[in-house]
Structure 1
Amino acid sequence: MLRLLAVLTLGLSLAGCASTREASLAEVRPWHSIKEFRDQRMADVADPWEGFNRSMYRFNFNLDRYLLLPVVEGYEYLTPRFVQKRVSGIFNNLSELRNLTNSIFQLKGTESATTLGRFLTNSTLGLAGMFDPATSFGLARRDQDFGKTLGYWGAASGPYLVLPFFGPSSVRDTAGLAVDSGITYGIYTVVDPFAATGNSLAYSAGLTALEGVDMRHQQSFRYYESGYPFEYYMVRFLYHEKREIETGKALPAEPDP
């Protein structure tokens, strides 16, 4: 009888806990779609091609999962960290040419001089950019691109757009990427560092592949690892806000006093 009484008491207690938990959960209305927070700023970004962008977002996830990240992980496993940093330094130094041209397009004389100084210093004392003595000399890096240049001169960002491999973008930034790529290709064609080898195309292709691996190696973002159920909207919002701040179209929110 005592054992039966104990079992009944325990059963009633668990039932009471379960009903209380169900009642408390019922009070919390779940969010099932973006409609649940249309009044939030996260929903403000123009995204008329959301169906295409979502498909491209998933494509980039699969590209990462089955191709890029395995290659990057193999690269990181086989290559000493010291060498990885030197490779990243070389490509970062080459990207100073993009920073320089866009600083000039924006008529930023001081910034252009600083970027030119960085490039010359790291190309010589830094052994083609493998090291970064320019930063220790007070020549800070200023990241620029033609998308920022268009924004600087008043061009709106336009609708949100997810690009294959490159990820989040906009109509303005996609046009900027095309212009930057064209300028880089033009400079490379004029210089043609592998012309004397007799096999310039093969070397160029290998260099481009290594640059792609290094680009993904330097980017810590991983698709669908945020744990946030609305990651697509979060990434869209953060990218848009970041670019608006960088082009001076929006001011960062002031912290509460």
Structure 2
Amino acid sequence: MALSTTGCATQSPEAKAAGETFDPYEGTNRAVHGFNIAVDRFAFRPASKGYVKIVPEPMVTSFSSFSENLSLPGQAVNALLQGNLKVAGHAVFRFTVNSTVGFLGLADPATEFNIPRVDTDFGETLHVWGVGEGAYIELPLVGPSTARDATGILVDFFTNPIGYARNNPADNISLYAEVVRRMGDRGRYSDTVDSILYESADSYAQARLLYLQNRRFELGETAEITEIDPFELDTEGF
């Protein structure tokens, strides 16, 4: 939270208006990036490639669906916080259908029933509330993010109702399921990820550019970022 506040407070209006990258912690971020690449190279990459090679594709898809289903209650909460009752309803409906007919989410009959997919988080909730994205940061083991999205990741972890259910089959099951889902994605898109991390002239800059472009597109932002940042300091009088 302190990093989020600092990052948002020091971002210049000119940089945001031009749609530029605000990366005041680049030195630290590059060190974290190097750590993440080392973890990927020696642990996550080989484990993920082995996972998709050994586990049949339908099972990989089922485990990914299971992880997505566990996230739906939290996404419904975020949709409500954003004032979007329609998306909240879709999230609840998808969770209900996939948790029953879909064998706890291992199958995805909700898609066959044409129930729209939901993809939101507390980072988007903060965006809807007018909070600026703040500084770009790279998180250990997580990867590219912003001060706003990093705060969202933390809040999402504690606000998903699944985590407070009495009949959870395992503690932190959502976290374990997310790790398995990410392993599936890493294994499936290995060539693309490898080209970014290991074949780019500057993998840090490449990953930063791709993340910010994709995230701003998801949030409906254009090159000109016009959102209000409540943490931004007015320094004109100093």
When normalised by structure 2's length, the TM-score is 0.76
Task: Give 1:222's aligned residue.
Answer: 193
- Report the equivalent of 2:222: 250
Report the alpha carbon displacement of residue 230 of structure 1 after superposing the two structures with TM.
3.1
Q: Shift in Å at residue 246 of structure 1?
A: 2.4
For 2:164, the equivalent position in structure 1 comes to: 189
Q: Is residue 110 of structure 1 aligned with residue 93 of structure 2? A: no
Q: CA deviation at 1:205?
A: 6.3
CA distance in 1, matches of 2:177, 2:110: 24
- Tell me which stretches of 4 or more aligned residues in structure 1 moved more than 6 Å: none
Matched residues in 2 for 1:158 and 1:207: separation?
27
Which structure exhibits the higher relative contact order, with contacts defined as CA atoms closer than 8 Å and separated by 6 or more residues?
A: 2
- How big is the shift at 1:189? 3.2
1:178 aligns with 2:145: no
Which has the higher mean CA deviation after the structures are superposed, 217-226 or 63-72?
217-226
Per-residue Cα deviation, 1:131-166 (whole angstroms, up to 9, x for no partner): 111112221112000001101111000000000111
For the residues of structure 2 that align with 1:164 and 1:63, how far apart are their CA atoms? 10
Counterpart CA distance in 1 for 2:197 and 2:137 is 21
Task: String of CA shifts for 1:198-222, please: whole Å, max 9, x gaps.
Answer: xxxxx43687445413323224352
How many residue pairs get aligned? The number is: 203
Match of 1:97 in 2: 73
User: Match of 1:26?
Assistant: none
Distance in 2 of aligned mates of 1:211 and 1:156: 27
Match of 2:121 in 1: 145
1:127 alignment partner, SS class: coil
Aligned mates of 2:211, 2:174 — CA distance in 1: 28
Which residue pairs with 1:49 in the alignment? 25
Partners of 1:79 and 1:47 lie apart in 2 by 39
Relative to structure 1, the CA distance from residue 157 to residue 206 in structure 2 (aligned partners, 3 Å threshold; closer, same or farther) is closer
Code of the aligned partner of 1:148: E
Please list every run of 5 or more consecutive structure 1 residues that lacks an aligned counterpart in the other structure. Answer: 1-40, 195-202, 253-257
Q: Provide the C-alpha distance between the structure 2 equivalents of 1:89 and 1:46, rounded to a whole number of angstroms.
A: 35
Amino acid at match of 2:219: T
What CA distance in whole angstroms lies between the structure 1 residues aligned with 2:100 and 2:198?
Answer: 41
SS in 1 for 2:89: helix
Q: Distance in 1 between matches of 2:59 and 2:75?
A: 24
1:98-142 alpha-carbon deviations (Å, 9 max, x no partner): 221111110101111111111111111111111111112221112
Q: Which amino acid aligns with 1:245?
A: F
Distance 1:75 1:227 in 2: 23
Match of 2:179 in 1: 212
- Could you tell me the percent identity over the aligned residues? 31
Q: Which structure's CA Rg is the greater one?
A: 1
Residues 132 and 206 of structure 1: is their aligned pair in 2 closer, same or farther, counting only changes over 3 Å?
closer
What SS is found at the alignment partner of 2:126? helix
Counterpart amino acid of residue 204 in structure 1: D
RMSD: 2.6
Distance 1:206 1:152 in 2: 29
Report if aligned partners of 2:98, 2:104 keep a CA contact under 8 Å in 1. Answer: yes
Which residue of the partner structure matches residue 61 of structure 1?
A: 37
**Contact 1:244–1:250 (CA under 8 A) maintained in structure 2:** yes
Q: Secondary structure at the match of 1:204?
A: coil
In 2, the alpha carbon distance for the partners of 1:206 and 1:111 equals 24
Task: Name stretches of at least 5 consecutive residues in structure 2 with no aligned partner.
Answer: 1-16, 225-238
